[in-house]
Amino acid sequence: MLRENVTDLMAFMVVARERSFTKAAAQLGISQSGLSHSIRGLEERLGLRLLTRTTRSVAPTPEGERLLETMAPRLLEIEQELVLLSDSRGKPAGTIRITADDFAIDHVLWPKLRQILQHYPEIKVELIVDYGLTDIVAERFDAVSG
């Protein structure tokens, strides 16, 4: 049900923005008839009209305008985040947790990490100095030196 609603809400948003089923159908790459059925199905599920249709124009009803004002910014925000996620594919990012003694950190890890972090600023490194026995699984470490 959620997927059907999201698809239909996106269709509604485009129709309301374009104020035309023809233009909206072309943008969405679907038939005008299919688009009309989607909007009608959404209106039936909600139990109210979202669009006023005449032979010459389409306009949101007050309820449709309210829905549009509420959801459009959120859907655009989600779309922008999906673009950002897609752009970040293949780029190393995230947090790496390493526990080691201070000699290993100062003389082995930092010289190498400095070079890596300059090229990949999306990587965050947590270095924890520890001389005891550490349960690296329980404490969620990615690596240990010792």
Residue 52: how many CA atoms within 13 Å on its side-chain side? 6
Whether residue 59 contacts residue 12, with contact meaning beta carbons closer than 8 Å, is answered with: no
* Banded pLDDT at 69 (limits 50, 70, 90): very high
* Banded pLDDT at 21 (limits 50, 70, 90): very high
CATH of domain 2-87: 1.10.10.10
Instruction: Determine the pLDDT at residue 100.
Output: 87
Q: Which two tokens stand for residue 95?
A: 């947090």
**Residue 93 reports pLDDT greater than 90:** no
Instruction: Determine the pLDDT at residue 146.
Output: 64
For the residues 83-92, what does the mean pLDDT come to? 78
The span from the CA of 3 to the CA of 14, in Å, is 17
Instruction: Determine the pLDDT at residue 115.
Output: 87
**Residue 1 reports pLDDT greater than 60:** no
pTM for this structure?
A: 0.58
DSSP bridge pairs for 127: 98
Range 94-144 classified under CATH 3.40.190.10? yes
